[in-house]
Structure 1
Amino acid sequence: MEGVTPPSIVSITIAIALIGTVIGQLVFGWLGDQVGRRRIYGLALALMVASSIGCGFSICRTRKCVLTSMCFFRFWLGVGIGGDYPLSATIMSEFANKVTRGSFIAAVFSMQGFGILTSSAVTMAICAIFNRVSGSPGPLVRTPESADLAWRLILMIGALPAAMTYYWRVMMPETARYTALVEQNIRQAVKDMEKVLDVSMNEMNEDIDQILPDPPSYGFFSMRFLHRHGRDLFACAMSWFLIDVVFYSNNLFQSQIYGSHLPPRTQVNAYQDAFNVAKFQAIIAICSTIPGYWFTVAFIDRIGRVKIQMMGFFVLALCLFAIGIPYYMYWNIHANAGFLILYGLTFFFSNFGPNTTTFIIPAELFPARFRTTCHGISGAAGKIGAIIGSVGFLWASQNIHKREVDHGYHQGIGMMTSLVLLGVTSLAGMVFTFFLTRETMGRSLEENETEDVDNAVSLFTSLRNSSERLHAPLNAVAAL
């Protein structure tokens, strides 16, 4: 059909960015433990900015050339985004105290919601401007010449907010936990804490080197790591995998809703069509996505990670069943306000639930020397689930729809099957969480690695007691 991108092209453009994200999470996660959080943090951002500009700054105009260029830069954009996951979560977890650590990490992750809203606003603004300047071309003008510039601007503007944060990323100190427990450099850790606490620590005892933690006693590829942390790593990876299967499929389900609640694409031009889609996404973000994130910020250190994750999976399953089971008989014909409320709740309880907690828990469960590596592995498992969910959902809906049309069946049956399967996947996530995931609320990071507890506690106790004048601010450090 003219004006409709073939499913194969859509699948490639979606999958290539997610494959890059998988690689970025694994590679940058490993580098974060080997080289340091701060050094790699700036590199991930630089890669994101350059790739975002590259996505829009394609020098070619033919469709094949543009798609090839887009896929190339989307891959590297995915690598940068993937690297940002383990580093952002770990840095925040290592700077925060155990009382408010969950809220702080959730607040970092919740910025995605505002990013979605901002991107929708930018898209709406550019489309409105170009539509007005071009004289509001009619529906028959599907792709006006100026549209080539519009989509490039939308992509490149996304690099600006990220670029504005680069200075603060490269100037931030390394986390004291990494410096002390991984690099074994207590004096540098003290200097880094001085920057964070904004107090002088010149009165520290000269014998501080005597409390240097013992070197690591086992490696990542060892039976001891498998015995101590294998279950935690499997739980984090599996939970993230299952929620991303559901979450990314659910995002693609929006395309099925556009036809019922937006003007038909045959009646609008390219600018108006993009404006309407962005407007719909902004409404979803304001009404469900962003509130879901901030409910997690408010309650995660009161209710706990495991309870919120189980609740999110359970309610998400209920909503998907409520949409999916009657979809063939009712929603496919009467996609009214009740349908939109149920669909909005799927985003709310994804974010006030496993979509956020799966980002938080891996940053709290593992010892400092493996923290970003394990977070990267967990996130990579999630993005593999995202590939299966998004590409699989796209092809399944296309193939089922074609088969139903060929045999004269109602097209809603295929969508009903897909939604019910997503509900079952959510229930599986709840079961895995109940049996495998450990609660981290109210516990220090070191309490998850018993071998290092005595060393870490003695380190922070010494820092606290070394100067009466610093007693109050160092209490916060001792609570980490």
Structure 2
Amino acid sequence: MADILRHHRHHNPSAGEVPVPHGPATGDEHEHYPPGDKPITSDQERAIFSYLTHPDDCYTPEGVYWADLPLRERIAFVNKVQNAEAKKELRAIGRMMKADPLSPVSWYFRNAVLPGAGLGLEGYVLFSIGNLEPLFKSAYPGCWGKKTECDANWIAAVTYLEVIGIMVGQVAVGIIGDWIGRRWGLIQDAAIMFVGLLMITASWGLNLNGWVICYAWSLFFYGFGVGGEYPITATSSMENAVAAGKISTREDRLHRGRKVTMAFLMQGWGQLINQALLILLLLILHHGDGNPPYGSTTVQWIWRLSFAIPAVGTLWLVYYRAYKMPHASRQLVAAKRKNNVTGYDVDSLRLACSFFGGRLLATAGTWFCNDVFFYGNKLFQAQFIAVISDNPTSVLTGWTWNLINVVVSLAGYYLASIFIDNKFYGRKMMQQVGFLMCFIMFIIPAFNYKYYTSPEGIKAFQAMYFLSSFFNQFGPNSVTFLVAGEVFPTPIRASAHGFSACIGKAGALLASVLYNYIDTQTKFYVVPWFGLAGMLLTWLFLPDTTGLDLKEQERRWTYIRSGRDHEYHGIAIHPEHLSLWERIRGVGKNYNPELDLKQKIEDMREEWAGKEKLKRENEAGAASVEDLDDEEWSDEVQNYFKRTTDSSLLAGEKRHDGNGAQLPTLNEKAGSDAASSN
């Protein structure tokens, strides 16, 4: 609070000297002030609240929002803010390294590795299934080859059951995360993944077909936990201490996307570690030679060890989430308390489908298109390896090329985390460019397939393969994970994310089924159009939330939830932060910075009054300490509220006029005044 207060006084040196009246300044029932006091003026009021209503990373000193500036001024303002923030972070890193050279590593571990540990383990196991398939094909041709020893349907079920388990987990845990809480979802997912890994490691049967059946159902169980990681990790990363009910912070506005994508990119590290470990195990257990033939005993040791090792890390994750993340559900609890909801907020779900249907189409539809591409990328690998390799039948050869591809993908993940909060690139542009580049990388070889799979064109084919991997991560794969939760309100955020991810995995399921029935040339004719469709869905239906405060979106939701959406005038409906579809429907027509300033102050007043009431109840033993959010209000703001707030509002009572009729709340009154002004 001291830092915020110093910041406020630095920008408003006279704020501490503003005369504050003793009576409430709003409401028709109070129209006089004690002798010697004067009503507060709008300029003085603006000075008191400017550090809250007009933070300097979003507004000019004159109070103009960055997106309202002319293009040249906008570029200058945004670059100034971003350059200053970059210098500030570099200086902070320098101080950390001076004090302790390894402190940046520990910071990264706390802020990226731990939040994304579940996704890292998920990436490790999920992609190991595909990595192990060529090894199984070589060692068990009676199952993965001619299928004389195993049922072909159960071999296919290894992939299908895994994907279906993920889809079920995404929807179910999304609902659980909004119903019971984020913390419960985090613990439950880690526990399910741990048990699932034990099941996979110990899977066995009286014959090969029995083993395959046990293996497939173990993957289904594990997949349920994996699926739950998507909505629960995204929402908890977004709603941690930075944005969880606190006064809007600079960190949230400038780095929220980076915070979430740094957790998500652990999926790439999981893939990398899995592939590197499999290569090492093959070299160690296959007598230093990665070439076929591969013995059954060697294969069994390799795949069981590859699953047993992450089981240890998953067990530690269960402990960490159970004992080290006690406040993961804090923002959800605050949102439910505000709306007097104890279970699942069905009303919020209904309203979200009505108001944010276009957004749901964008997040689910683009994720579907992306997953077709994500799996379609694997088409390139077998083709160019067969041409450029002297030993294409070696599992080690395929694994080595895949390791290189994962490294390229990781570069895309990290570049996405750097640019995803850039106001001139950000979420929407990144996703559109990523989809466009993937479309181009697939459409070129589609119509000249023979040339690009020949020795003359294989180098260009290889380059397109790596570029498609890079732009998939530096584009839709990273963005879909972020925006699927970010563009929806807290009460149904995990549900919306889980549903979008489930529809996305339906794209993966479509790819895995479709590719079994069409030849490689036809695959290249089909896949590119999903990239084009994803780009168009992004352009039409996805809003750009880059730089938009998460708490401002929650404020808009409060108006929608109370049936007063037309009374909201803030930046959450600024055209910059709306989709083309929403702008066409007229959602942003009520944007009005001046009216919004008045309402924002009254919103804060009611929030402050509610917290004061809770404090008094806590002192009387009627409320628990956990119910209290420790807001960092400056002394000027608290003093202003104390001396201008109706005592009945502070007590939580209903206000009535002289005839006994109930008066509107301060917020409702501000809304009706704003509507009259319109």
Please classify the TM superposition score into its range, dividing by the shorter chain length: 0.7 to 0.9
Q: Within 2, Cα distance between the matches of 1:296 and 1:18? A: 26
Deviation at 1:298, TM superposition (A): 0.3
1:125 maps to amino acid: L
Change (3 A) 1:369 1:233: same
Which residue pairs with 2:303 in the alignment?
A: 151
Which residue pairs with 1:32 in the alignment?
A: 177
Structure 2 residue aligned with 1:94, among 231, 235, 239?
A: 239
Check conservation: 1:367, 1:446, Cα contact below 8 A: no
Which residue pairs with 2:397 in the alignment?
A: 276
Check conservation: 1:22, 1:383, Cα contact below 8 A: yes
Q: Within 2, Cα distance between the matches of 1:334 and 1:468? A: 73
Q: Which runs of 5+ in 2 are unaligned?
A: 1-136, 146-151, 243-251, 560-599, 612-629, 639-678
Structure 2 residue aligned with 1:130, among 285, 289, 308?
A: 285
Q: Within 2, Cα distance between the matches of 1:309 and 1:131? A: 43
Deviation at 1:328, TM superposition (A): 2.4
Deviation at 1:252, TM superposition (A): 4.9
Deviation at 1:29, TM superposition (A): 0.3
Deviation at 1:360, TM superposition (A): 0.3
Structure 1 runs of 4+ with >6 Å offset: 453-456
Deviation at 1:280, TM superposition (A): 1.6
Which residue pairs with 1:404 in the alignment?
A: none
Q: Within 2, Cα distance between the matches of 1:433 and 1:160? A: 40
Q: Within 2, Cα distance between the matches of 1:329 and 1:311? A: 27
Which residue pairs with 2:328 in the alignment?
A: 174
Change (3 A) 1:259 1:465: closer
Is 2:483 aligned against 1:328?
Answer: no
Deviation at 1:460, TM superposition (A): 8.1
User: Whose relative contact order is higher, 1 or 2, with alpha carbons under 8 Å and at least 6 apart?
Assistant: 1
Deviation at 1:390, TM superposition (A): 2.2
Check conservation: 1:26, 1:376, Cα contact below 8 A: yes
Q: Which runs of 5+ in 1 are unaligned?
A: 185-211, 267-272, 398-414, 472-480
Q: Within 2, Cα distance between the matches of 1:246 and 1:440? A: 24
Which residue pairs with 1:228 in the alignment?
A: 355
SS of match in other structure, 1:366 = coil
Scaled by the length of structure 2, the TM-score of the pair is 0.57
Change (3 A) 1:73 1:252: farther
Check conservation: 1:232, 1:437, Cα contact below 8 A: yes
Check conservation: 2:451, 2:457, Cα contact below 8 A: no
Is 2:225 aligned against 1:69?
Answer: no
Check conservation: 2:383, 2:453, Cα contact below 8 A: no
1:441-452 equivalence runs, <5 A: 441-449=546-554, 450-452=556-558
Deviation at 1:363, TM superposition (A): 1.5
Q: Greater share of helix residues, 1 or 2?
A: 1
Structure 2 residue aligned with 1:255, among 359, 367, 382?
A: 382
2:466 maps to amino acid: G
Which residue pairs with 2:418 in the alignment?
A: 298
Deviation at 1:294, TM superposition (A): 0.6
Which residue pairs with 1:366 in the alignment?
A: 488
2:522 maps to amino acid: T
Check conservation: 2:392, 2:398, Cα contact below 8 A: no
Which moved further from structure 2: 370-379 or 225-234?
Answer: 225-234
2:352 maps to amino acid: F
Check conservation: 1:240, 1:358, Cα contact below 8 A: yes
Q: Within 2, Cα distance between the matches of 1:126 and 1:372? A: 38
Tell me the alpha carbon deviations over residues 311-369 of structure 1, each in whole angstroms, 9 at most, x when there is no partner: 00001111111232211234245453322111001110000000110100011111111
Deviation at 1:65, TM superposition (A): 1.1
2:253 maps to amino acid: K
Which residue pairs with 1:205 in the alignment?
A: none
SS of match in other structure, 1:312 = helix
Deviation at 1:49, TM superposition (A): 1.8
Check conservation: 1:328, 1:416, Cα contact below 8 A: no
Is 2:190 aligned against 1:45?
Answer: yes
Which moved further from structure 2: 115-124 or 420-429?
Answer: 420-429
Q: Within 2, Cα distance between the matches of 1:240 and 1:279? A: 29
Which residue pairs with 1:289 in the alignment?
A: 409
Change (3 A) 1:468 1:281: farther
Q: Within 2, Cα distance between the matches of 1:23 and 1:72? A: 14
Deviation at 1:276, TM superposition (A): 2.7
2:331 maps to amino acid: R
Scaled by the length of structure 1, the TM-score of the pair is 0.79
Change (3 A) 1:50 1:262: farther
